[in-house]
Amino acid sequence: MDFSISEEQKLFKQSVTEFARNEIQPGATERDAEARFDRDVWDKAAEFGLMGLPFPEELGGSDASVFDTCLAGEALGYGSADMGFCLSWGAHVAIGGVPIWQLGNDEQQKKYIPRIASGEWIAGLGLTEPEAGSDAAGIKTTAEKKDGYYVLNGTKTFITNGQVGNVFVVLAVTDKEKGPGGISGFIVEKDFPGFSVGNEIHKMGHRSSPTSELIFDNCEVPAENLLGVENEGFMGVALTTLEWERSVLLAAGVGGMELQLEQCIDYAKERHQFGRPIASFQAMQFKLADLKVWLETSRLIVYKVAWNKDQGIMDPMLASIAKLFVSEVGVQAADQATQVFGGYGYTKDYPIERSIRDAKLGTLGGGTSEIQRWIIGRLLIGK
């Protein structure tokens, strides 16, 4: 068992960190305040090669492993100070692009992956609905096959990249009698007849990542845009994206926690009370120690999820453990960091207040903490 990363991986991670620090971090505070997605920043990241990391070279990608893509996510979270960008990037790669690459046929891969890998097209996943959040298999959007098309009707909500996306993997019911076994996946382009973007959703955090509804009103999707096998979309997409999402997106949070710790250490050394730096007080050292423990533990578990995926090891329990632990620790870490900064941590003059707003999404999006505990519990007792 080797817990080290290679020199090549260290250099790769450092290069992504430097890119993020130079090209994404400037303006991050303003983008958050304005809830603005910056296409210029996106295009720079695409030119750097971040949008196509895991995809095959023959499709315009870099053939990066899950682990290396995870390292890129960690570096982005650490260097950019823009978790909204990290969210949009992670959704584009891990839950928008990966299903098309993994489940799509040759024609679909050749048509869509080069555009996704280049960043020309922005991808996303249409799963969550107003009445189907944690109960993802309870979606109501339908797809009826008719005259060479699937006609989709329904509404998706909380869709990352909704306003800016060009192509979405959308899950819809094709056989109402089969429950989760009657759900299919579709590749839907933004210009398909009957498709529109609904209300923008205004969030407390990750504000530079656009979120909205997707509306399907007799949306005509060509039959050849069925993704994978009919009625096998739910498990197909879930099994394909689970470890990708749980490693790439969580890794960005780990990077953010590392940046947060460095900011706390610097502040604690500079801030003086009672005639000395607050870092000299044992109570403050305990807070910093907690932040370090949470960071290193989170990093290890995310790395293991990514490593497992590269080895072909399916471990849904570990994926849920990682999601639960890293997201909840992320909230605790942000709260602890705010305490380190004291009253200043509650102001917009320091970046910590953004961290606490961003962190909360982890316990809600992509499966709530309650759902993760439910999954872990059921797996433990063999259900």
Number of independent structural domains in the chain? 3
Strands 123-126, 142-146: pairing is unpaired
The 10s digit of each residue's pLDDT in 286-341 is: 999 999 999 999 999 999 999 999 999 989 999 999 999 999 999 999 999 999 99
Same structural domain, 280 and 355:
yes
Q: How confident is the model at residue 241 (pLDDT cuts 50, 70, 90)?
A: confident
Domain of 56, CATH number, reads: 1.10.540.10
The 10s digit of each residue's pLDDT in 261-272 is: 999 999 999 999
68 CB-contact burial (10 Å; exposed 0-12 / middle 13-18 / buried 19+): buried
Q: Which domain holds residue 81?
A: 7-122
Active-site residue, selected from the candidate residues 243, 245, 258, 353: 245
Question: For the chain, what is the mean pLDDT?
Answer: 96
Give the closest residue to 42 by CA, choosing from 130, 163, 147.
Answer: 163
Same structural domain, 249 and 345:
yes
Q: Catalytic: 245?
A: yes
Task: Provide the pLDDT for residue 71.
Answer: 98
Same structural domain, 115 and 128:
no
Give the residue, 96 or 235, on which the prediction is more confident.
96
Domain of 356, CATH number, reads: 1.20.140.10
Strands 123-126, 167-173: pairing is parallel
Q: Note whether residue 2 is domain-resident.
A: no
Quick one: tokens of 248?
């790439």
Q: Where are the beta strands (DSSP E) in 161-287?
A: 167-173, 183-189, 195-200, 211-222, 226-227, 272-273, 276-277
pLDDT surpassing 90 at residue 57? yes
Residue with tokens 């799509």: 104
- Residue at a domain's end among 217, 233, 249: 233
**Pairwise CA distance, residues 231 & 229, whole Å:** 6
Q: Do 199 and 213 touch, CB atoms closer than 8 A?
A: yes
